[in-house]
């Protein structure tokens, strides 16, 4: 009998890197009777065609006929697979309360199903979400923290509970995206371990897939303050992509702690009960309280971005723009100066 492995995210928890690791070892996995379902929901015949069906699944979430077709294709792939073959369905948007019911319900009654999730400490996840989405709508980091705490996002526990309820025969694995807890500190090798695959250490490494790299806090702040100039919405990455093309590596990283100690402590306390359930019931750790204290509680060193003065942050932004683009401008014209400098470089 064949086996369905669902790599279901969560978003912003190493999903892109993990899939790149699967794609990079396509031949190695094929030799182990492990195949990747592509965007057509059939075993991918080539490495190049092995792509996650992100948008196909997203569309099907609100379109029952599409969802029915996808489920039929997955069942057909399982039925036609060779004995002992594992099929991987990988897409971070499967970390959704509606995904199992609308797309996969009942498959676990016919075939073995393993659903694998990775979760990131909320004190890391929330600033990363702010950088990728919320700052593009003009929300401050503190506003994002308050909003997500109020909404209980990321919704790790409710989503896992929905999967467990909808697919009671599936094996659900929750792994922490914490270097000290992963196999060799690597999410790709950790995932291989979870699915019982042998990682080919002689194969070329997967290409870097950090599609949302960190950027110096001062530039993020400047773009957040003038978000309408830089972004048309929370998912608009056009300007960000152009900026990254011309930004030296030294500014493509977080150059200060993002959150204050008080905020980190508030996040820890707000999610502690949920995290304790996750660590106990889903990770099945021997010492869940100790695990959370070690890996989820943050100690902040230095002057965090959250408490920096406006003058301090803008002065750093001025220095970066002068260093990178040779442009000098007063604070009130700095956003336009950055936008024009990047556009000029792009046109050149």
336 and 231 in one domain? Answer: yes
Q: How far is CA 133 from CA 129, 211, 253, in A?
A: 6, 13, 17
227 and 188 in one domain? Answer: no
Strand partners, 5: 88, 114
333 in a structural domain: yes
Residue 347 confidence (pLDDT): 84
Q: How far is CA 186 from CA 7, 54, 180, 324, in A?
A: 16, 23, 9, 33
46 in a structural domain: yes
Spatial strand order in the sheet of 86-90: 34-36, 86-90, 3-7, 113-119, 171-176
157 and 18 in one domain? Answer: yes
Residues 6+ apart with CB under 8 A from 186: none
What's 11's domain CATH number?
A: 3.40.50
289 in a structural domain: no
157 and 234 in one domain? Answer: no
17 and 159 in one domain? Answer: yes
188 in a structural domain: yes
42 and 75 in one domain? Answer: yes
Over the range 160-187, which residues count as b (16 or more CB within 10 Å of their CB) and which as e?
A: bbbbeebbeebebbbbbbbeeebeeebb
Tokens 């016919």 found at = 110
176 and 43 in one domain? Answer: yes
342 in a structural domain: yes
21 in a structural domain: yes
Domain span at residue 65 reads: 3-120+153-195
Per-residue pLDDT in tens (0 to 9) along the chain, 348 residues:
999 999 999 999 999 999 999 999 999 999 999 999 999 999 999 999 999 999 999 999 999 999 999 999 999 999 999 999 999 999 999 999 999 999 999 999 999 999 999 999 999 999 999 999 999 999 999 999 999 999 999 999 999 999 999 999 999 999 999 999 999 999 999 999 999 999 998 877 776 655 567 899 999 999 999 999 999 999 999 999 999 999 999 999 888 999 999 999 999 999 999 999 999 999 999 999 999 999 999 999 999 999 999 999 999 999 999 999 999 999 999 999 999 999 999 887
- Give kind and range of the element (H or E) at residue 7: strand 3-7
94 and 64 in one domain? Answer: yes
177 and 68 in one domain? Answer: yes
Q: Are 93 and 19 in contact (CB under 8 A)?
A: no
272 in a structural domain: no
184 and 48 in one domain? Answer: yes
101 and 191 in one domain? Answer: yes
223 and 183 in one domain? Answer: no
Reading the block at residue 266, the tokens are 């508030």
Residues 6+ apart with CB under 8 A from 317: 218, 219, 221, 222, 334, 338
pTM of the model: 0.93
31 in a structural domain: yes
Reading the block at residue 238, the tokens are 């056009």
Radius of gyration (C-alpha) of the chain in whole angstroms: 22
Residues in the chain: 348
What total number of domains does the chain contain?
Answer: 2
């Amino acid at each position: 009998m064949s086996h369905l492995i669902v790599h279901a995210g969560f978003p912003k928890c190493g999903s892109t890197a993990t899939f790149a690791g699967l794609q990079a070892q396509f031949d190695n996995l094929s030799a182990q009777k492990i195949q990747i379902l592509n965007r057509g929901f059939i075993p991918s015949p080539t490495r190049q065609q092995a792509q996650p069906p992100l948008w196909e699944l997203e569309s099907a979430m609100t379109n029952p006929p599409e969802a029915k077709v996808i489920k039929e294709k997955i069942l057909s792939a399982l039925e036609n697979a060779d004995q002992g073959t594992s099929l991987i369905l990988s897409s971070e948007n499967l970390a959704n309360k509606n995904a199992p019911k609308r797309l996969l319900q009942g498959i676990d009654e016919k075939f073995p199903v393993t659903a694998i999730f990775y979760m990131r400490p909320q004190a890391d996840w929330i600033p990363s979400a702010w950088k990728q989405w919320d700052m593009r709508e003009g929300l401050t980091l503190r506003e994002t923290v308050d909003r997500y705490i109020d909404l209980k996002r990321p919704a790790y526990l409710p989503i896992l509970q929905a999967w467990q309820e909808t697919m009671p025969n599936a094996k659900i694995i929750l792994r922490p995206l914490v270097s000290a807890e992963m196999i060799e500190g690597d999410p790709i090798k950790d995932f291989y371990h979870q699915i019982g695959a042998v990682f080919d250490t002689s194969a070329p490494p997967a290409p870097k897939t950090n599609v949302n790299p960190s950027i110096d806090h001062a530039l993020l702040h400047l773009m957040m303050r003038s978000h309408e100039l830089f972004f048309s919405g929370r998912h608009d990455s056009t300007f960000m992509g152009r900026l990254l093309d011309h930004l030296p590596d030294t500014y493509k990283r977080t150059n200060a702690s993002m959150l204050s100690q008080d905020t980190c402590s508030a996040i820890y306390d707000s999610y502690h009960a949920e995290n304790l359930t996750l660590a106990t019931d889903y990770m099945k750790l021997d010492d869940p309280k100790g695990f959370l204290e070690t890996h989820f509680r943050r100690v902040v060193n230095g002057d965090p971005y959250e408490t920096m003065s406006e003058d301090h942050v803008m002065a750093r932004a001025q220095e970066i723009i002068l260093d990178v683009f040779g442009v000098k401008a007063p604070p009130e014209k700095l956003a336009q100066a950055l936008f024009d400098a990047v556009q000029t470089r792009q046109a050149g």
